[in-house]
Structure 1
Amino acid sequence: MGVTAIMSSPKLLVYGLLVVVLSACATSPLGRQQFLLMPEDQMDEMGVAAYDQMKQEKPVSNNAQETRYVRCVANAITSVLDEKQTWEVNLFQDDSANAFALPGGKIGVNTGLLKVARTQDQLAAVLGHEVGHVLAHHSNERMSLQYATQSGMQLLSAVTGQDSALKQGLFAALGVGTQYGITLPFSRKHEAEADIIGLQLMAKAGFDPHQAINLWQNMSAANGQEPPEFMSTHPSNSTRISGLKARMSEVEPLYQQARASGRSPQCSTG
């Protein structure tokens, strides 16, 4: 190899790295710069694989009325998305007040959430928030930062393979880690972003955005004495409620427009 080739090799390496970094730059729905390495089709495949495994390992509720209710609310939320796709929605028999949405169009709601999200509007606040995580590619962002040295196919193989530390970590990055013994909460910036997107979605779907505040008041009452905010990556309930209140003037027109156009969800367990 000549001297010129040797000298140019580091330049080519730097150029290649620069191309990778620039191609990974993206912007969230709220305008925040993101670093996304994973192809979206592979994120979708991992979301579908994780969801299928959950259905095998976690009992799906046999309460037909509650299942119809949850799907009614979820379908109203997903119907206002710009990108149309069919979302699979299931109610899982689990006493914890939790829900999740995964890339690939998958939504799960635990039966325990229905004791805290007491109205269709409050449930819509939760599902809008969870879908907001997907729209903002938060799981892709987390995987890109933690598993940048591994290919998408390697990660997909880990999700569909035998249980391992990598697999548990990937489930946690997708947002369903609590089901598998690893907790990896979304960061405060991700939570705040999903809160705003969720408010917008529920308002566009014809759900009262003010009920998001009532939901978190219910959550606060159910959780009892929560730890100080600095000890958690999640915002405290009081901080979250303040953030939601600050956005109400922005989403109220969306709600009024939805109602005027005939969007008036009638979801119930009756």
Structure 2
Amino acid sequence: MPKPHLFTLTLAASLLLGCQAVNTTSGGAVGVERKQYMFSMLSTEQVNQMYAQSYQETLSAASQKGVLAKNSALSKRVNGIAQRLIAEVPAFRPDAAQWDWEVNVIESPELNANCGPGGKIIFYSGLIDKLKLTDDEIAAVMGHEIAHALREHGREAMSKAYGVQMATQLGSAFGVGDGSLQLANMGVEYLMTLPNSRSNENEADLIGLELAARAGYNPNAAISLWEKMGAAAGSAPPEFLSTHPSSSSRTQALQSTIPKVMPLYEQRRKNR
């Protein structure tokens, strides 16, 4: 039977062989260059299809409840902003221009928004109405969410989960004890799950900032957006903050990056 440390190294090597080191997007002016590890058995197309099914189920449920806004003024407003942002995605990922993009608004008090794999966008009216978001602030939220999809953070998270699951299953098959399994899982965690979600959030912030600037939306709106989010978190934290935690370091990172994208915004405004 392999020694615990040898088993850990063997397992880690086996899992890494099933992974591909990729960079899903170009760096852009903001310089997001981190390589990501994705399981080869879990393709972009598979993840996109899985999410598309879930997305349609969400829309169907909203339609049955009569809260799927199709032709409202708010829906047209959100769609208009989305189209300008989507037009800029080739700057980071040319193939994303061919995604089957969808944009929908659900009338709900939830303070939430999402862009899932493959370009499936949902905005909840509560986020816009309760926080009184400007078009620039809506673009900041949407740019951030689109960035998650472009970077395939969902597929990356699934790859990480598969790695931990495989570590446990392989460990059990080899009859390795709990202590060795814990060691193996820790090795997988360090090899495959870092950088963690905080890094993903930072990437989405930076790419979203540039997408908004390229589309002609004031990048300074990202600051006022998170200020509004922070104020809303005082009583009942917005659903959005459960997966997108706010922090002072986030604001500092945005403020330091705004000068890099401001020329793109000013050029776009000049050409309109």
With the length of structure 1 as denominator, give the TM-score of the two structures.
0.70
> Given the alignment of the two structures, is residue 113 of structure 1 paired with residue 127 of structure 2, yes or no?
yes
Mapping of residues 251-262 of structure 1, within 5 Å: 251-262=261-272
Q: Which moved more, 1:51-60 or 1:106-115?
A: 51-60
- CA-to-aligned-CA distance 1:180-220 (integer Å, 9 cap, x gap): xxxxxx82111111000000000000000001111111111
- CA-to-aligned-CA distance 1:86-119 (integer Å, 9 cap, x gap): 4110001221111000112210000111122521
* Identity between Structure 1 and Structure 2 (%): 37
Instruction: Supply the distance in 2 between the matched residues of 1:236 and 1:110 (Cα, whole angstroms).
Output: 19
Alpha-carbon spacing, 1:14–1:149, altered in 2? closer, same or farther (3 Å): closer
Report deviation, 1:126. 0.1
Report deviation, 1:15. 8.7
1:94 maps to which residue?
A: 108
> Given the alignment of the two structures, is residue 125 of structure 1 paired with residue 140 of structure 2, yes or no?
yes
Alpha-carbon spacing, 1:195–1:18, altered in 2? closer, same or farther (3 Å): closer
Instruction: Supply the distance in 1 between the matched residues of 2:266 and 2:161 (Cα, whole angstroms).
Output: 42
Q: Could you say what secondary structure the match of 1:236 adopts?
A: coil
Report deviation, 1:19. 4.0
Q: Could you say what secondary structure the match of 2:33 adopts?
A: coil
1:60 maps to which residue?
A: 68
Q: Structure 1 residue runs of 4+, over 2 Å off?
A: 13-21, 147-151, 232-239
Q: Which moved more, 1:136-145 or 1:83-92?
A: 83-92
Which of 208, 217, 225 is the equivalent residue of 1:215? 225
Report deviation, 1:221. 1.3
Preserved contact between residue 187 and residue 234 of structure 1 (Cα < 8 Å):
no
1:80 maps to which residue?
A: 88
- Match for 1:107: what amino acid? I
Instruction: Supply the distance in 1 between the matched residues of 2:37 and 2:112 (Cα, whole angstroms).
Output: 28
Which of 203, 217, 221 is the equivalent residue of 2:213? 203
> Given the alignment of the two structures, is residue 141 of structure 1 paired with residue 170 of structure 2, yes or no?
no
Report deviation, 1:54. 0.6
Preserved contact between residue 15 and residue 163 of structure 2 (Cα < 8 Å):
no
Preserved contact between residue 94 and residue 111 of structure 1 (Cα < 8 Å):
yes
Preserved contact between residue 217 and residue 237 of structure 1 (Cα < 8 Å):
no
> Given the alignment of the two structures, is residue 240 of structure 1 paired with residue 250 of structure 2, yes or no?
yes
> Given the alignment of the two structures, is residue 47 of structure 1 paired with residue 58 of structure 2, yes or no?
no
Instruction: Supply the distance in 2 between the matched residues of 1:243 and 1:226 (Cα, whole angstroms).
Output: 26
- CA-to-aligned-CA distance 1:105-164 (integer Å, 9 cap, x gap): 21000011112252100000000000000111100110001134889xxxxxxxxxxxxx
Instruction: Supply the distance in 1 between the matched residues of 2:243 and 2:52 (Cα, whole angstroms).
Output: 27
2:22 maps to which residue?
A: 26
Residue segments in structure 2 that go unaligned for 5+ positions in a row: 1-10, 26-31, 167-195
- Match for 1:147: what amino acid? Y
Paired positions, count: 211
- Match for 2:21: what amino acid? C
Structure scoring higher RCO (CA < 8 A, sep ≥ 6) equals: 2
